Amino acid sequence: MSATDTHAEHTVAEHEHGTDCGHETVQHGDHVDYVHDGHKHAVHDDHYDEH
């Protein structure tokens, strides 16, 4: 990650993304991102990374 990249975390308690969560999905390498409020979330352990 460069100095200009951001890494915001959202907990799964705030919202659980999945097949029926209602958010658009985007394949991102070896995982799926979920488009949420203008940005993308990706599951990472017990939280979501912002992509």
Q: Which amino acid is at 51?
A: H
Secondary structure (DSSP) of 1-51:
--TT----EEETTT---STTSS--EEEETTEEEEEETTEEEEEETTEEEE-
- Residue 10: per-residue pLDDT: 62
Cα 18 to Cα 24: distance, rounded to the nearest angstrom = 10
Domain boundaries, the chain: 23-51
Query: Residue 40 has which token pair?
Result: 């993308």
pTM above 0.75, yes or no: no
CA 48 to the chain's CA centroid: 5
Q: Which amino acid is at 22?
A: G
pLDDT tens for residues 4-34?
445 555 666 667 788 888 889 999 999 899 9
